[in-house]
Chains A and B, each alone.
Chain A
């Protein structure tokens, strides 16, 4: 079974540019989460999709971040325009409701804003 995949693995952009991160969850997982880890700090929750619907987006920092989950499959996280403080590692995770609470993480996208 393929795990959670994320693309790209690394992205370096200049302040003010736009970046789109992609996450492909484990097939059949209805829950999809985005998290971010800023250097040396904890992994922080950004938002949670159940299928194509946003269940909880309380962790989204501001309106420069836009997440979508088309058709309840893969998800994208767009940052526009990027700021220096957006640098960090963005993780995606997925889980299947009703089986266990375990969230399976992707390898992350390391975003550097210069």
Chain B
């Protein structure tokens, strides 16, 4: 089955700087890669996703890149703000897209004022 590795487990950046979180996956059949943000005590919320036919996707300060050959994808957050502090999870799905998600272990992003 699919295995998703996520690094780092904790990331501390100064407000205004950029943050990058990296994930690798094992199943070459995986074709959908969402990123979820979970604030303390709240539900995971989708912040951006990418499908395997696209190499990069951007939404304001957030971008995701995908390298299918190397089987890794990354989340980039620019101009970080205090409200970006949360746990971020990457995930992957193989098959038709309606399958269960395989998650990475999460990255605790801390924005230092």
Residues of A within 8 A of B (CB): 3-4, 31, 33, 35, 41-48, 50, 55-56, 58-59, 91, 95, 97, 101-108
A45 close to B101 (CB less than 8 A) = yes
Among residues of B, the one whose C-beta sits closest to the C-beta of A102 is B46
Known: A43-B89, A43-B103, A45-B100. A102 touches B49 (CB 8 A): yes
Chain B contributes a number of interface residues (CB within 8 A of A) equal to 24
Q: When chains A and B are docked, how far (Å) is the Cα of A47 from the Cα of B44?
A: 18
Q: When chains A and B are docked, how far (Å) is the Cα of A33 from the Cα of B104?
A: 17
Q: When chains A and B are docked, how far (Å) is the Cα of A95 from the Cα of B93?
A: 14
Q: When chains A and B are docked, how far (Å) is the Cα of A56 from the Cα of B95?
A: 13
Query: Could you tell me the dominant secondary structure of chain A's interface residues?
Result: strand
How many CB-defined contacts (below 8 Å) exist between A and B?
62
For residue B72, CB closer than 8 A to chain A, the reply is no
Please provide the 7 A-B residue pairs with the shortest distance between their CB atoms, ordered closest to farther. Answer: A45-B100, A101-B97, A42-B105, A43-B103, A105-B43, A105-B44, A42-B103
A107 close to B98 (CB less than 8 A) = no
Which of B1, B89, B99 has the most A CB atoms < 10 Å from its CB? B99
B100 close to A47 (CB less than 8 A) = yes
Q: When chains A and B are docked, how far (Å) is the Cα of A45 from the Cα of B32?
A: 16
Known: A91-B44, A106-B43. A97 touches B98 (CB 8 A): yes
A101 close to B100 (CB less than 8 A) = no
B42 close to A33 (CB less than 8 A) = no
Residues of the B chain whose Cβ atoms lie less than 8 Å from the Cβ of A101 = 32, 34, 49, 51, 93, 97-98
A91 close to B100 (CB less than 8 A) = no
B11-37 vs A: 1/0 string, CB under 8 Å? Answer: 000000000000000000000101010
Among residues of A, the one whose C-beta sits closest to the C-beta of B33 is A101
Which of B42, B98, B103, B106 has the most A CB atoms < 10 Å from its CB? B98
